Amino acid sequence: MSDAKNADPKRKAGEQLPLVFSHDAASGRDDLLISERLAAAVSIVDAWPAWPSPVVVLAGPVGSGKSHLARIWRELSGAVDIHPERGSDAAVAAAAGPVLFEDADRLGFDDNALFHVINSVRENGTSLLITSRLWPMSWPVSLPDLRSRLKAATVVEIGEPDEALLSQVIVKLFADRQLYIDDKLVLYIVVRMERSLNAAQTIVERLDSLALSRGTKITRSLAAEVLNELGNSEPAD
* Helices 163-176, 197-214: inter-axial angle, 10-degree rounding: 40
Residue 37 confidence (pLDDT): 66
d(CA 60, CA 58): 7
Task: Reply yes or no on whether the pLDDT at 102 is more than 70.
Answer: yes
The angle at the Cα of 162, spanning 231 to 150, to the nearest 5 degrees, equals 100
Residue 36 confidence (pLDDT): 62
Q: Whole-prediction pTM value?
A: 0.64
- DSSP annotation string for 167-231: HHHHHHHHHHTTEEE-HHHHHHHHTTS-SSHHHHHHHHHHHHHHHHHHT----HHHHHHHHHHTT
Smallest CA-to-CA distance from 217 within 176, 174, 156, 187 is with: 174
pLDDT in tens, 146-202: 999 999 999 998 877 778 878 888 998 898 889 988 999 999 999 999 887 778 889
